[in-house]
Amino acid sequence: MKGIFDTTISSLNQNLNLRLENQNVISANIANADTPGYKAKTVNFEHAMREAMNTHEGVKLEVSDSNHFGSRGPDAVVADVYDDPNGVESLDGNTVDRAGEMAKMKENEILYNASIEALRKKLGMLEYGITEGGGNK
């Protein structure tokens, strides 16, 4: 696969996996908006994406063993989920802001769809290169 599928496709794949995980966290928050004592969760998407791409501010991780942290494949992308530090606790101890979570969900959906469109265009360019860009027939 390496050679045809460049880092753009890999990055878009990782982005989509993280967007899906973020959607699941947001959905869980909304589902628990009326659960007493529930603490809203959040995902640091940008940190998780850097982690998934092994870029860490431009420094690529070097691994010498397949069990090392940086040797995970793109399908093993996992973001850290933690209690939202910006949550305001209600009288029942719940920190979910339903309107805020709905806005986060819509933003995540828009960014997910943009990633899908970018992946579709990238694959379309590959298809063009294979079918039309071959030169002599």
**For residue 6, what pLDDT is reported?**
74
Taking the CB of residue 75, how many other CB atoms lie within 10 A of it?
8
Question: Measured between alpha carbons, how far is residue 48 from residues 11, 25, 53, 65, 80 in Å?
Answer: 12, 14, 9, 22, 7
**For residue 1, what pLDDT is reported?**
44
**Average pLDDT, rounded, for the chain:** 82
What pTM was computed for the model? Answer: 0.74
Alpha helices in 72-134 (DSSP H): 98-131
pLDDT value at 33 more than 90 = yes
pLDDT, greater one: 71 or 39: 39
Quick one: CA dihedral 128, 4, 114, 29, positive or negative? Answer: positive
